[in-house]
Structure 1
């Protein structure tokens, strides 16, 4: 049976370990109780705004991956004990970045002055500004994120990024029969019409770079949102690693590295691998970056995959974003990407069966596009996720129990 046919007809091998690289179940908090019963082995759960940081932390207290759980995540012999884990991600989404002010020299701008600078075009409607939350200082956001990252050693930074298309919800409610679901976490659109205002791109960049710098300092991976700003996003990321580019190793150095890699593949433990990795000390850029639900053209991939780029860049794909309508760009990107840089995600707002189904759908789709069997694809995507989250780059192999 051809790989493309197998991916459509064979039962899904959940026992091998499927991992959701980006999701938002805290948007529907009651659904979080369903995580323990899901077939997905681990969820990478994003925070986005003031109202959900604590929710992500609350479930991290119960379900966050610990070092003791890592062997179960790596195993290809799935069991009840190897499911229901989460990796928490703490960060401020570009849709809400206007709610943060950059507190330079300990100056606190007035609410009106801040929003007239952070929003484009500058609002002239005082009622619109009054409807927005009081802005909070960037230093507080970074301090809170740092505290969470220290509390959860395996946590990452996310969701952060840039979005040129997003419009800030206005004051008026949309005439669409919308009734607010009490299960939804506050702070989202909540049935309001979209205004004509957008978050100023320079402001978005400043908030993004501050969070990237924190992730670099603490050597944590990041999950990055990029919509209608692919060139600007690369420029912003590139600024953080400027001066730290990798040089092309000599033949002698490549031979030595191959010998070191072979030693690690003989079974040294995870802690030893981490200590001997080449990530080094704190840097101004994250060691690993996932461009989630990547919607850029395949040609743009080249700049991220240059040998000189010191961060390891992954690209994740979702059924909801990448295959909801036209999928030409996503197919071309998946075809062009190296096998070890692809991740799968649901990007769904509620945990449970639908999240499992969406993850299964996108994994099957990726396998079909890459010409992988389901078993090959699930194993490869498992290794990719482990590398993205933990910095653990393993050979593609069956794994242990």
Structure 2
């Protein structure tokens, strides 16, 4: 008699049938593409259905655009009308106009779910090239930068930089694009200087891109290394301040017997519509605190895991176990398209084992989660 299969087991044939359901929530397959015949042949062999490709530095945004516009991607630009490309404002939270039907959503996306942003490793060289970049990189000792505090004058400096104007144009050109990869990194060392990347500078660029995602109603993909605690505390303070101010304004009355007055038009929701903590490596405690943010804010956070980054950590299983089933995503974080399929199934198997689910059921749940996060609203493949 054959032993009973584990919840995550599947035959090779069964596993091959899972690829149409897979969505790589964070990768960089555009990074080293030379767009040669061999390159396209490699892409043609990819079985993973959708890939969220993150442009993490301005110098590779062109590569991502070229991949987006290629016949291989299958994006129908005509469906990205100007009305859907511009930011809107719904209930205090900016948002894109949703596609009118499932077919439009799939056609707009093609296979690539794009992200454009400035990674913490790319922050210093990019800011240094901008006008008055020294005000952020080398502020006077009498006026040091406070992490996460973006004064009006420094925001004006960032807004005048060419990269930020270009990022705006890309978000308007591609209504399906998210803001990413952005983030914070207090561990990585700049190989050119052998020093840690400038953390205060990172936080200012991060805050500006976070706010841009709110303005355009886009999700964000966040790189967060040794910074989950300060990020959580910053978000918590923003949420608490927003909710407190909103409550006070709702309760304000022009005179004792008059109706309540709402003055929330100038208040901005402090958190993007959805936030992915990419290849999450923070503590389980901070993860749980993020999920407990008041109102619907905790539900806006998704946690993604990869075989390439998370498999080495003994805490990975505990982190996966702590995330609600409907807030999990999987990714590869790889540059080589040939590495995507294997890595996707590897992390899917591990997640299924932790959640004690059959692999096919886990993959289908992950597809639904990805559809919600990226608004890929096409029906599940048969």
- For normalisation by structure 1, the TM-score amounts to 0.68
- The SS at the match of 2:69 is helix
Q: Does 1:306 align with 2:332?
A: no
1:386 corresponds to which of 362, 371, 377:
371
Deviation of 1:99 after TM superposition, in Å, equals 2.4
Q: Deviations along 1:357-387, whole A, 9 cap, x unmatched? A: 1111111111111111011111000000011
2:201 is aligned with 1:203: yes
Shift of 1:284: 4.2
SS at match of 1:52: helix
What does residue range 255-274 of structure 1 map to in structure 2 within 5 Å?
none
Alignment equivalent of 1:11, drawn from 4, 10, 14: 14
* RMSD of Structure 2 on Structure 1 (CA): 3.4
Aligned to 1:156: 178
- 2:22 and 2:363 in contact (8 A); partners too: yes
2:114 aligns with one of 88, 112, 118: 88
Q: What secondary structure sits across from 2:184 in the alignment?
A: strand
The 1:151/1:57 distance shift into structure 2, 3 A limit, reads: same
Kept in 1, the 8 Å contact 2:183–2:222? The answer is: yes
Contact conserved, 1:212 with 1:240, CA < 8 A, in 2? Answer: no
Give the gaps of 5 or more residues in structure 2.
Answer: 77-98, 145-156, 245-266
Q: SS of 1:162's equivalent?
A: strand
The corresponding residue for 2:88 is none
How far apart, CA to CA, are the structure 1 residues paired with 2:174 and 2:110? 17
- Structure 1 residue 114: deviation in Å? 5.7
Q: Contact conserved, 2:303 with 2:329, CA < 8 A, in 1? A: yes
Is the counterpart of residue 317 in structure 1 residue 315 in structure 2? no
* Residue 342 of structure 1 pairs with residue 328 of structure 2: yes
CA–CA distance in 2 between the matches of 1:169 and 1:141?
23
Alignment of 1:181-196 (within 5 A): 195-196=193-194
Q: Aligned residues, how many?
A: 310
Residue number in structure 2 paired with 1:49 = 57
Pairs within 5 Å for 1:17-96: 17-30=21-34, 33=40, 34-62=42-70, 63=73, 70-71=102-103, 85-96=111-122
> In the TM superposition, what is the alpha-carbon distance from 1:11 to its structure 2 partner?
3.0
- Give the Cα separation in 2 of the matches to 1:72 and 1:370: 33
The aligned counterpart of 1:169 is 191
Contact 1:36/1:85 (8 A) holds in 2: no
Change (3 A) 1:242 1:60: farther
Q: State the Cα distance separating 1:309 from its structure 2 match.
A: 5.3
Distance 1:162 1:306 in 2: 22
Task: Give the 3 Å change call, closer, same or farther, for CA 389–372 of structure 1 in structure 2.
Answer: same
* Alignment partner, residue 315 of structure 2: 329
The alpha carbon displacement at 1:333 in A equals 0.7
Q: Which residue of 2 aligns with 1:145?
A: 167
Instruction: Give 1:84 deviation, angstroms.
Output: 6.8
Q: TM-score, normalised by structure 2?
A: 0.71
